Amino acid sequence: MHGTLELATQDGRTARDGAEASPLALRGMTVSYGDQPVVFSVDMTVQEGAMTAIIGPNGAGKSTLLKAALGIVTPLAGRATVYGQPLAQARDRIAYVPQRASVDWDFPTEVLDVVMMGLYRELGLLRRVRPRHVARAMECLARVGMQDFADRQIGQLSGGQQQRVFLARALAQGADLYLLDEPFAGVDAATEKAIIDVLKDLKSEGKTVVAVHHDLSTVQAYFDRVFLINRRRMGEGTVAQAFTAAALQATYGGRLAEGQIAQLALDA
């Protein structure tokens, strides 16, 4: 009996260390759709200046966790702090890149317009758009390699280009913490490279990046840390510590082939 207690306690403690300073700390986060929790009692402590991948099988609650952290969905229990403050007081420090499919790309607007949305907290209802605002939006577009598309209608973009525009919009916010929901889903190789380059730049500037990630084969190349989730928190730590065969087995269960796990963990 004592052994089990220790096992769980260790787990709990690592999750709650350093919560005060963390860019994003979740405590006891539970979210339900209907009558069942899709995320249960999850603790998470994001490490500043690191790139963290949230991984887990389909329907494991990855995106939901992110949305609960951002206040987009209301959790049944639990709370989130951003740099030690409640979310409402830290909105300027946090930027969100939603899933591409979550909006209607036939909306009548142009690329530069979308990026300018990232300046809303600065511009407010009526403040005039100055050349410096446009310059900043253009600069963000340039960072994702989309400066030539500024006047393009958003419906004419490819999936990868749409994703880059969303990233540029988040960059325009000038935040410290970037939360991305499946930034690499359905994008071309060039876009994937462009996005990861930008994210690594952000890291080198001391910013913090958290991304819901699907492709286990690129976890080691792209990220410093992983957060494993399957409705519950299944593990958290550096890639070397937490991206292990046992943890993957526990997170994915029978859904990941043995050979796959062996290979991924071998690399780690």
Partner 1 sequence: MGMEFVALSLPPLLIGLFAAVACALPGNFLVLRKQSLIGDAISHVVLPGIVVAFLLTGRVAAWPMMLGAAAAALVAVVLIEAIRRLGRIEAGAAMGVVFTAMFAGGVLLLEQSDTSSVHLDVEHALYGNLESLIWLEATGWSSLLDPAALATLPAELTRMAVTLAVIGVLLWLFYRPLKLTTFDEDYARTLGLPVTALGLGLVISAAVAAVAAFDAVGSIIVIAMFICPPAAARMMTNRLGAQIGWSVAFAALSAVLGYVLAGYGPLWLGAQNAVSAAGMIATVSGVILAVAALVGPHRRG
Partner 2 sequence: MLTDALLLNLGYNATLVTLGAAALGLAAGATGTFLFLRKRALVSDAISHATLPGLVLAFILMVSLGGDGRALAGLMLGAAASALVGLLAVSWLTRATRLAEDAAIGAVLSVFFGLGIVLLTVVQTMSAGRQAGLESFLLGSTAGMLFADAMLITLGGVAVLACALALRRPMLMVAFDPGYAETQGIAVARIDLAIMALVMAITVVGLKIVGLILIVALLIIPAVTARFWTDKADRVVLLAGAFGGLSGYVGAAVSATAPNLPTGPIVVLVSFALFALSLFCAPGRGVLASGLRHLALQRRVHLRQGLLSMAMGQPVYERLTCQMLRRRGWMRADGVATEAGRAEAAATLRDEARWQALRASTELSDLAVRDDGLTAVAEVLTADQIAQLDARLRGPREVGA
Residues that bind partner 2 (CB under 8 A): 1, 3-5, 7-12, 16, 27-28, 30, 32, 35-37, 40-41, 76-79, 106, 230-232, 235, 244, 246, 249-250, 253-254
Tokens of 99: 């899933």
Amino acid at 146: M
Partner whose footprint covers residue 205, from partner 2, partner 1, none (CB < 5 to 8 Å by kind): none
Interface with partner 1, residue 68, by CB under 8 A: no
Residue 92 vs 197, nearer CB to partner 1: 92
**Rounded to 5 degrees, what are φ and ψ at 54?**
-95, 115
Interface with partner 1, residue 134, by CB under 8 A: no
Characterize the bridge pairing of strands 25-33 and 36-45.
antiparallel
Partner whose footprint covers residue 16, from partner 2, partner 1, none (CB < 5 to 8 Å by kind): partner 2
Among 19, 123, 134, 185, binds partner 1 (CB under 8 A): 123
In contact, 22 and 45? CB cutoff 8 Å: yes
Residues 216, 83: Cα–Cα separation, whole Å: 29
- Residue in 136, 142, 194 with CA at minimum distance from that of residue 163: 194
Residue 9 vs 188, nearer CB to partner 2: 9
- Residue in 91, 151, 90, 88 with CA at minimum distance from that of residue 115: 151
Interface with partner 1, residue 121, by CB under 8 A: yes
Among 120, 142, 158, 221, binds partner 1 (CB under 8 A): 120
Piece of the chain touching partner 1 by CB under 8 A; list 4-12, 14-22, 120-128, 187-195: 120-128
In the shown chain, the binding pattern of residues 163 to 182 toward partner 1, with x for contact by CB under 8 A and - for none, equals ------x-------------
Interface with partner 1, residue 35, by CB under 8 A: no
Least Cβ distance, residue 30 to partner 2 (angstroms): 5
198 CB burial (10 A radius; 0-12, 13-18, 19+) = buried
Partner whose footprint covers residue 203, from partner 1, partner 2, none (CB < 5 to 8 Å by kind): none
Residue 1 vs 125, nearer CB to partner 2: 1
Rounded (10°) angle between helices 189-204 and 159-172? 20
- Residue in 138, 202, 189, 139 with CA at minimum distance from that of residue 160: 189
Other C-beta atoms closer than 10 Å to the C-beta of 71 total: 13
Interface with partner 1, residue 96, by CB under 8 A: yes
Residue 37 vs 118, nearer CB to partner 2: 37
Characterize the bridge pairing of strands 77-82 and 94-97.
unpaired
In contact, 90 and 45? CB cutoff 8 Å: no
Rounded (10°) angle between helices 159-172 and 131-143? 130
Binding site for partner 1 (CB under 8 A): 67, 70-72, 88, 91, 94-96, 98, 102-104, 106-110, 114, 117, 120-121, 123-126, 153, 155, 169
